[in-house]
Amino acid sequence: MNGQKVWTSSAHVARRALLVTRTDPDVPKHQGMTYFALDMTAPGVEVRPLRQITGEAEFNEVFLSDVRIPDADRIGAVGEGWQVSTATLMNERVAIGGTAAPREGGMIGTVARTWREHPELRTPGLHDRMLRHWADAEVARLAGARLRQQLAAGHPGPEGSAAKLVFARLNQEISEFEVELGGADGLRYGDWTMRRPTGADFFGRDPGYRMLRAKGNSIEGGTSEILRNIIAERVLGLPPEIRVDKDVPWKDLPR
Amino acid sequence: MSAGDLREQVREFLAAHDPAASDRLEFLRARFDAGLAWVHYPAGLGGQGLSRSLQPVADAEFAAAGAPTNRPERNGIGLGMAAPTILAYGSEEQKGAGSGRCGPERRSGASCSVSPAPALTWPAWRPGPSPTVPSGW
């Protein structure tokens, strides 16, 4: 196996990685893929830290050079990798956007606290925005609770994509609002030391960190653009986007 | 099974396995074998085929007793993504490798070593209250 993956969380601590590979270039792109649990200690696996705008290298890029993978580590049938990875991604979206939180949990909680503790920051315009963010966050929270009730009866479906999409949008809006609320203080940044944490912390540290980290929310776990397509086509049943490459053998795609 | 039945089941388990007096890994393995790791997984794989919504009931009982966890907040990918994928598409052998028997002697099994160095002893994905979202992507 040869290739590279840019955003690989926990690669610096993981013993195994989930790997989707192109194993048959002669069929259209959704076919001809095969899924493995890659041994990260195998010869040819190289993990490099990627320093982000937050200062941390929370995730990595991974390079695979002539890595040999035993068939025992294959998950699912040869050529079935797309279906297998879809199961993984559906679970991912629910894990990111569908977590239970108390009222005023998550990003809205930190802003609400600042709002309550610092009346001197309030203006009528900010008050209006604060309440709109609060209501949006509460709607998302309750919708997530309903999604989990549906989940209790089955496996994650495309509906989880909506929870994840809204999670990203609200995190970005609310964390930006918090920086603005802080005025000049909002420009302070606590610590830009290069570190390699073992997990992601969306709601920790200071407003500046939270605002910068939230930028990743609309990329990680399915970009917001992809999620909107999924919602349109698989939840709402709208006509699919034209895909000229869907039936073309992967090896014939222009690149 | 009702929430009350499950609570009772956990209490019986805790009476037989005192968390304060047990080795952490052994406790987690016993919890897995009792089908109390993630109750919605199949019997033999850490669960007993119950509704997913009952998992928080079991978790709350274990937490109240001060029981050790497998630190699910550190392994969102292994527990939240790899495990359900293996459950859906893995071979019987691969499922077994992740079935709470991932001590040093089983470390080479595919699914049990998806996790970082501390062995994946039992899977516990569920929407959790932790403000630190696991690095699940």
pLDDT band at B97 (very low <50, low <70, confident <90, very high): low
Enclosing domain of residue A23: 3-81
Q: Return the pLDDT at A93.
A: 64
- Host H or E run for residue A170: helix A160-181
Q: Which residues of B touch A88 (CB under 8 A)?
A: 81-82, 84-85
What's the average model confidence in pLDDT over A94-112?
A: 80
Q: Give the residue carrying structure tokens 């900010």.
A: A126
Distance, in Å, from the CA atom of A140 to the CA atom of A132, rounded to the nearest integer, reads: 12
Cβ of B132 within 8 Å of Cβ of A72? The answer is: no
Cβ of A98 within 8 Å of Cβ of B127? The answer is: yes
| Closest C-alpha among B91, B28, B32, B110 to residue A19 | B110
The answer on A91 and A77 residing in a single domain is: no
What CATH code is carried by the domain that includes residue A33?
Answer: 2.40.110.10
Cβ of B136 within 8 Å of Cβ of A105? The answer is: no
Residue A7 neighbours by CB distance under 10 Å = 16
What's the average model confidence in pLDDT over A37-50?
A: 97
The answer on A159 and A218 residing in a single domain is: yes
Cβ of A15 within 8 Å of Cβ of B94? The answer is: no
B125, B59 contact by CB (below 8 A): no
What's the average model confidence in pLDDT over A165-172?
A: 95
The residue of chain B with its CA nearest to that of A103 is B129
Q: Which of A115-124, A166-175, B14-23, B92-101 has the lowest mean pLDDT?
A: B92-101
Q: Is residue B114 scored above 90 in pLDDT?
A: no
Cβ of B136 within 8 Å of Cβ of A9? The answer is: yes
pLDDT band at B10 (very low <50, low <70, confident <90, very high): very high
The answer on A60 and A116 residing in a single domain is: no
Instruction: Indicate if A92 belongs to the active site.
Output: yes
Residue B58 C-alpha, separation from nearest chain A C-alpha, in angstroms: 15
The answer on A211 and A145 residing in a single domain is: yes
Q: Return the pLDDT at B123.
A: 30
What CATH code is carried by the domain that includes residue A228?
Answer: 1.20.140.10
Distance, in Å, from the CA atom of A138 to the CA atom of A135, rounded to the nearest integer, reads: 5
Kindly state the percentage of chain A with pLDDT values over 70.
95
Domain boundary among the residues A52, A81, A110 is at A81
Residue ranges of B 8-37 with Cβ closer than 8 A to chain A? none
Distance, in Å, from the CA atom of A139 to the CA atom of A251, rounded to the nearest integer, reads: 45
Whether residue A174 lies inside any domain: the answer is yes
The answer on A194 and A130 residing in a single domain is: yes
Q: Which residues of B touch A137 (CB under 8 A)?
A: none
Q: Return the pLDDT at A90.
A: 78
The answer on A100 and A64 residing in a single domain is: no
B81, A88 contact by CB (below 8 A): yes
Whether residue A158 lies inside any domain: the answer is yes
The answer on A100 and A41 residing in a single domain is: no
Whether residue A106 lies inside any domain: the answer is yes
Q: Return the pLDDT at A200.
A: 82
The answer on A94 and A33 residing in a single domain is: no
Cβ of B84 within 8 Å of Cβ of A200? The answer is: no
B interface test, pick of A92, A108, A147, A224 with most B CB neighbours within 10 Å: A92
- How many folded domains does chain A comprise? 2
pLDDT band at B135 (very low <50, low <70, confident <90, very high): very low
The answer on A126 and A76 residing in a single domain is: no
Whether B117 contacts chain A with CB within 8 A: yes
Q: Which of A47-51, A90-94, A186-190, B43-47 has the lowest mean pLDDT?
A: A90-94
Whether residue A108 lies inside any domain: the answer is yes
The answer on A98 and A73 residing in a single domain is: no
The answer on A99 and A58 residing in a single domain is: no
The answer on A94 and A73 residing in a single domain is: no
Domain boundary among the residues A81, A111, A126 is at A81
Q: Which of A55-59, A71-75, A91-95, B98-102 has the lowest mean pLDDT?
A: B98-102
Q: Return the pLDDT at A234.
A: 87
Residue of B51, B81, B133 with shortest CB distance to A152: B51
Domain boundary among the residues A61, A81, A101 is at A81
Whether residue A250 lies inside any domain: the answer is no
